[in-house]
Chains A and B, each alone.
Chain A
Amino acid sequence: MMLIAGTVPIRDMPLTMGKVTFDGDYLVAGRGKIPCTQGTGAMVSAALATTSYLGLDAPYALLVGDIGEGKGSRELYQYLINHIAGLSPNVLALHYWLPNMAQTRQLCKAIEKCLKRPVMIADAASMYSAKAAGLAEKFDIFTPDATEIAFLADPEATHPAYIARHLFETDISRTPELAQVAYENHGAARLLLVKGATDYVIRGGEVLATITEPDVPALESIGGTGDTITGLVSALVYAEMEPHEAAIIAARANRMAGKYGRVTPATKVREVVAQFPSVFKDYLCQWSNICDIKGEN
């Protein structure tokens, strides 16, 4: 089982969990119906596009409405803390929520009771809370962008709004240096996929790969294209790829989807997600040697 947990911007939507399906332009999970827009919706959409292509079980999504007030986020944390051992997913991907250090600590403790430790992936504010609580090393993959790698490197910051100015003003080419600092300060997961003009895959401070092609600068401005990378890498890990291979392919696939979609800064993320099946059909075998596909390809 692959489980994605995150908030959605629908006030008062109750906590719900279920296997995800597409319903036209919407995603359905349990009693929740959400659009494929920036945030958890984009991440789930990318994961579902990948599992559908590969013929794998669809991801489960644990969703709750929260527009920033925090109540939904606290319920989500608590549900995971209470039920994660029983669910024992193979992959647990955590996404948007109001970061809460104490509940993150409780969650990491609860995960130790799983029959088999899940592969743990965090993006967005679940990554912020893991780092702020000093629990980054409990995670297998973080997917920061260029600003967020500066946040991971700043030992004092508990949110990217408070990172040191000299770290924010660095460019993406200094990512390896910042990642090294993040690892020294115990602020990084085992593997980092740093999203930017150059994507970096870094393990334990060592740069394993850089991805620069195709170069589609407009992707940075499209809300949700960082979320889709996290959805892709989560689904590829669920397909039993090694985390670093999954990260490299996720970065390539996201860029290629941008190229296929001829994106501009005004493109919406669902138009990028729509390109993933074509990208996989044309490149997945070449990139991964996964050529015998049983899914919707």
Chain B
Amino acid sequence: MTFLKKQNKVKFEGGGLVLFDDVQHAMLTEKALKSAGYIVKLVAPPPELRKGCDLAVEINLVEQPGIERVLREKDMAYISIDPIRIKTSPLLEVVKVTDFGEWIMVKAGNMKITYEKASGIIVNVSGGGCPDIPYLHAQLLDKRLDEAPRPKDLGFTLCALNLDRAFDECLTMYSGGNET
């Protein structure tokens, strides 16, 4: 007698949902994201999150900024991207500023950028844990704020999104705007 070993199928746990007005857009988006290299899955959104149709694309929530960029570039229509856990707080937008004399450090969530006040040169990027952060660190370091690339344009993850919030605040302060 032959026993067939049942393979354990790994369940995708993304933590985020892209919500749509209609089923067709959900299916097109799934295809577009898969062809861009993302691991995603068509799912039925829980009733509490349902905004349009009863089909959504589950994504790894950490990849939200990169996925939003793909959808923007491909002109794909969607309602919103939301965490699956319904009690999750909204994206954190608050920043904290530390004055080190010659330098200013701005912190947004888990990310920090430090620049030299006089020159606007980025001297350090710290915090975070996603793989685009060491890459962004290398891309931003020693560049002037108004000449450096935006983290949201190069990054893929929520860490990069936080870094971009810090960057934006640095840019405002360096350009003579009001400190937060």
Chain B residue, CB-CB nearest to A147: B110
Cα distance A66–B98 in the bound complex, in angstroms: 31
Counting CB contacts under 8 A, is A165 at the interface? yes
Residues A67 and B132 in contact, CB atoms below 8 Å apart: yes
Interface string of A2-38 (1 = CB under 8 A from B): 0000011101000000000000000000000000011
Residues B85 and A156 in contact, CB atoms below 8 Å apart: yes
Counting CB contacts under 8 A, is B76 at the interface? no
Per the 8 Å Cβ criterion, residues 115-172 of B in contact with A are: 116, 123-135, 137-138, 155-162
Total interface residues on B, using CB and 8 Å?
A: 57
User: Chain A residues near B129 (CB, 8 Å)?
Assistant: 95-96, 99, 123-128
Residues A266 and B124 in contact, CB atoms below 8 Å apart: yes
User: Chain A residues near B134 (CB, 8 Å)?
Assistant: 7-9, 37-41, 96
Counting CB contacts under 8 A, is B63 at the interface? yes
B47 to chain A, nearest CB (A): 18
Chain A residue, CB-CB nearest to B161: A161
Counting CB contacts under 8 A, is A186 at the interface? no
Q: Which of A68-76, A112-120, A275-283 contacts B (4 or more CB under 8 A)?
A: A68-76
Residues B92 and A222 in contact, CB atoms below 8 Å apart: no
User: Chain A residues near B61 (CB, 8 Å)?
Assistant: 158-159, 162
Residues B13 and A221 in contact, CB atoms below 8 Å apart: no
Residues A221 and B109 in contact, CB atoms below 8 Å apart: no
Counting CB contacts under 8 A, is A218 at the interface? yes
Interface string of B78-113 (1 = CB under 8 A from A): 000001010111111010001010110101011010
Instruction: Given A218-B100, A225-B126, answer yes or no on A132-B157 (Cβ-Cβ < 8 Å).
Output: no
Residues A226 and B127 in contact, CB atoms below 8 Å apart: yes
User: Chain A residues near B90 (CB, 8 Å)?
Assistant: 162
B145 to chain A, nearest CB (A): 14
Residues B105 and A162 in contact, CB atoms below 8 Å apart: no
Cα distance A68–B128 in the bound complex, in angstroms: 12
- Interface bin, chain A: 35 or more
Q: Which of A100-108, A204-212, A243-251 contacts B (4 or more CB under 8 A)?
A: A100-108
Residues B62 and A99 in contact, CB atoms below 8 Å apart: yes
User: Chain B residues near A224 (CB, 8 Å)?
Assistant: 126
Instruction: Given A160-B110, A265-B123, answer yes or no on A68-B91 (Cβ-Cβ < 8 Å).
Output: no
Chain A residue, CB-CB nearest to B63: A70
B60 to chain A, nearest CB (A): 7
Residues B126 and A165 in contact, CB atoms below 8 Å apart: no
Chain A residue, CB-CB nearest to B66: A68
User: Chain B residues near A53 (CB, 8 Å)?
Assistant: none
B64 to chain A, nearest CB (A): 8
Chain B residue, CB-CB nearest to A157: B88
Contact residue among A72, A101, A102, A223 (Cβ-Cβ distance under 8 Å from B131): A72
Chain B residue, CB-CB nearest to A129: B62
Residues B110 and A264 in contact, CB atoms below 8 Å apart: no
Residues B63 and A220 in contact, CB atoms below 8 Å apart: no
A193 to chain B, nearest CB (A): 15
Counting CB contacts under 8 A, is B11 at the interface? yes
B175 to chain A, nearest CB (A): 20
Cα distance A128–B105 in the bound complex, in angstroms: 24
Counting CB contacts under 8 A, is B52 at the interface? no
B167 to chain A, nearest CB (A): 14
Residues B100 and A67 in contact, CB atoms below 8 Å apart: no
A131 to chain B, nearest CB (A): 11
Residues B103 and A264 in contact, CB atoms below 8 Å apart: yes
Interface string of A27-59 (1 = CB under 8 A from B): 000000000011111000000000000000000
Counting CB contacts under 8 A, is A238 at the interface? no
User: Chain B residues near A8 (CB, 8 Å)?
Assistant: 134
Cα distance A97–B90 in the bound complex, in angstroms: 24
Instruction: Given A68-B130, A161-B158, A165-B94, answer yes or no on A98-B60 (Cβ-Cβ < 8 Å).
Output: yes
4 further interface pairs, Cβ-Cβ under 8 Å (given A125-B62, A156-B89, A265-B114): A67-B131, A125-B128, A147-B127, A162-B91
What would be 28 A-B contacts, judged by CB atoms less than 8 Å apart? A9-B132, A67-B135, A68-B155, A69-B37, A70-B63, A96-B133, A98-B63, A98-B130, A98-B157, A99-B129, A106-B10, A125-B131, A145-B127, A147-B107, A147-B127, A151-B110, A156-B83, A159-B158, A160-B110, A162-B83, A220-B112, A225-B126, A226-B127, A265-B102, A265-B105, A265-B124, A266-B116, A267-B124
